[in-house]
Amino acid sequence: MVNSRRTDGQETAGPTARRIAGAAAYRRGRRAEQVAMERLAGEGWTILKHRARTPWGEIDLVAVRGGMMIFVEVKCRPTFSLAASSLGARQIRRLIDAASMLCAENPGWIYDEMRFDVMVVTADDTVHQIADAFRLE
């Protein structure tokens, strides 16, 4: 069953359509992460972790340059404005908790400062980096 009818007569996507859309979104996200890593590496950042998983969630990228460590959330959307508005308070809290755990688990990481950045990758692979996008409250 690919489509089903709702009680209002509209068709909805069935499990197969959702699976296909989900797979496409996953591929776009992976591509955006790759583009973001290439951008950071080109700017002299060393990638410490990619897709770092913790019980609180996943941090897309952890990078260091000099004494600055960044935790990066990569967003892939058709436009910058859609991507920039897609990070909610709950996700921000989870990213902060995940970063705290990663720092505790990796005492060898050397840094003087840290920040949370958002890298937005639009459909044409344009990268917009929002440095220090949010802070610990």
Q: What is the pLDDT of residue 106?
A: 95
pLDDT at 15: 75
Q: Parse the chain into domains and list their residue ranges.
A: 13-134
Residue-wise pLDDT for 70-101, tens only, equals 999 999 887 777 766 678 889 999 999 999 99
> DSSP secondary structure string, 8-33?
TS-EEE-HHHHHHHHHHHHHHHHHHH
- In the chain, the percentage of residues whose pLDDT exceeds 90 is 58
**Domain 13-134 -> CATH class:** alpha beta
Q: Which residues of 9-38 are buried (b: 16+ CB within 10 A; e: fewer)?
A: eeeeeeeeeeeeeeeeeeeeeeebbebbbe
| pLDDT computed for residue 19 by the predictor | 86
pLDDT at residue number 39: 97
What pLDDT sits at residue 74? 95
Average model confidence (pLDDT) across the chain: 86
User: Is the pTM of the predicted complex or chain greater than 0.85?
Assistant: no
Q: Which residues of the chain have pLDDT under 50?
A: 1-2, 4
